[in-house]
Amino acid sequence: MITPVYHSGVTPTQDELVGLYNSVGWSSYTRDPARLAAAVRASLAVVTARQDGTLIGLARLVGDGLTIAYLQDILIAPDYRRHGIGRELFQRAFAPFGDVRQKVLITDDEPSQRAFYESMGFAETSELDHPIRTFVQFGERGRFDSLCPVSDRRPVTR
């Protein structure tokens, strides 16, 4: 029987993160395990799900928590999907930010993902009463990287 235990604000170990992200095929994150762990630690909110002590799911938000909360990652180990874990992680992650005006995410173009996010109250930007534009840049080295060498960046402190 699947009976996850949920935790907020507890960052999994680097090895746990790599295992979970690899289990869902997100290898672009796991190529640099230290960077992945640092990114999760720097998140606005982290909520995890564990089954018998094993990390089986994670949701994390980034943003300022006052005007924007961005769902950066939500992932569930394949053997634990379709048990309401994603819904619970989502709700717990966003719960402290109910008064935040902008709640944002970017996801793959898969019908099941669209249905999930719509069931959570999200809409595609093209379907809003006042459509807005969204812009994104993906790549190994984004625009910021080319403007600011790694050696010049300041570490995030909390």
Average pLDDT, the chain: 88
Confidence grade of residue 135 (pLDDT, cut at 50, 70, 90): confident
Pairing of strands 68-76, 102-105: parallel
Spell out where the chain has E strands: 5-8, 45-51, 54-63, 68-76, 102-105
* Count, residues in the chain: 158
**What would the pLDDT profile of 17-55 be if each residue is shown by its tens digit?**
999 999 999 999 999 999 999 999 999 999 999 999 999
State the Cα–Cα distance between residues 76 and 83, nearest whole angstrom. 10
For residue 140, the model assigns a pLDDT of 63
Q: Which residue has the higher pLDDT, 103 or 157?
A: 103
Is the pTM value of this prediction over 0.95? no
Which residues are 104's β-sheet partners? 70
Break the chain into its structural domains and give their ranges: 5-152
Q: Phi first, then psi: what are they for 57, rounded to 5°?
A: -165, 155
Q: Does domain 5-152 have CATH number 3.40.630.30?
A: yes
144 token code pair: 């910021």
State the Cα–Cα distance between residues 33 and 7, nearest whole angstrom. 22
**What would the pLDDT profile of 107-122 be if each residue is shown by its tens digit?**
888 888 888 999 999 9
